[in-house]
Amino acid sequence: KYEKAILEYEKVVKNYPDGNKVPKALLKQGLSFHHLGDKTSANLILQQVIRDYPNTNDAKVARSQLLEIK
């Protein structure tokens, strides 16, 4: 049910852009795209996590996931 998860994570990002759950929602959204085989979208979203939230644990996880995807 990754498609539904992606849509739900998108709601968090859109409805609470300054919320503390956004980095985690983006990370999980990127991982969901990866599980669906959409490497392009996964890469873009994981890079966004790293760029916008560089000092978070979510960015650390995103970095390691990017290495696995490539």
CA distance 5 to 55: 25
CA distance 41 to 29: 9
What is the predicted pLDDT for the residue at 69? 83
- The DSSP secondary structure of the chain, one letter per residue, reads -HHHHHHHHHHHHHH-TTSTTHHHHHHHHHHHHHHTT-HHHHHHHHHHHHHHSTTSHHHHHHHHHHHHH-
Q: What is the pLDDT of residues 12-68, one digit of tens each?
A: 999 999 999 999 999 999 999 999 999 999 999 999 999 999 999 999 999 999 998
